[in-house]
Amino acid sequence: MQSIKIVTQDACSYCVAAKNLLTSRSVDFEEIHLVKQADQARELLLQATQRTMPQIFIDGEAIGGFTELNQLVKSGDLTS
């Protein structure tokens, strides 16, 4: 099983979409809020290749945001 972490922020429609996409496919993930969990979010964001929200990490590797997550789901490369 893959370890998935999503860095999110308030009022972010793509953050909601990413969480809904994973939830609808019964994929477990850990949400890390940009403000409420600032230290943990900052540590992850140092590895990010983009500055948009959400930022998604699979097994410690930054994969990008919602668009990249959706591509992984559609290709079948994301396992629950």
Q: What is the pLDDT of residues 6-65, one digit of tens each?
A: 999 999 999 999 999 999 999 999 999 999 999 999 999 999 988 999 999 999 999 999
Q: Is residue 16 part of a domain?
A: yes
- The DSSP element (H or E) to which 3 belongs, if any, is none
pLDDT given for residue 40 in this prediction: 96
* DSSP 8-state class, residue 49: S
Structural domain boundaries, residue 26: 4-75
Q: Predicted confidence band at 80 (pLDDT cuts at 50, 70, 90)?
A: low
**pLDDT at site 27:** 94
Domain assignment present for 65 = yes
Domain assignment of residue 27, yes or no: yes
Enter the pTM of the model. 0.92
In a domain, 80, yes or no: no
CATH at residue 66:
3.40.30.10
3-class state of residue 16 by DSSP? helix
Query: Side by side, which strands form the sheet with 30-33?
Result: 30-33, 4-8, 55-58, 61-64
The domain total for the chain is 1
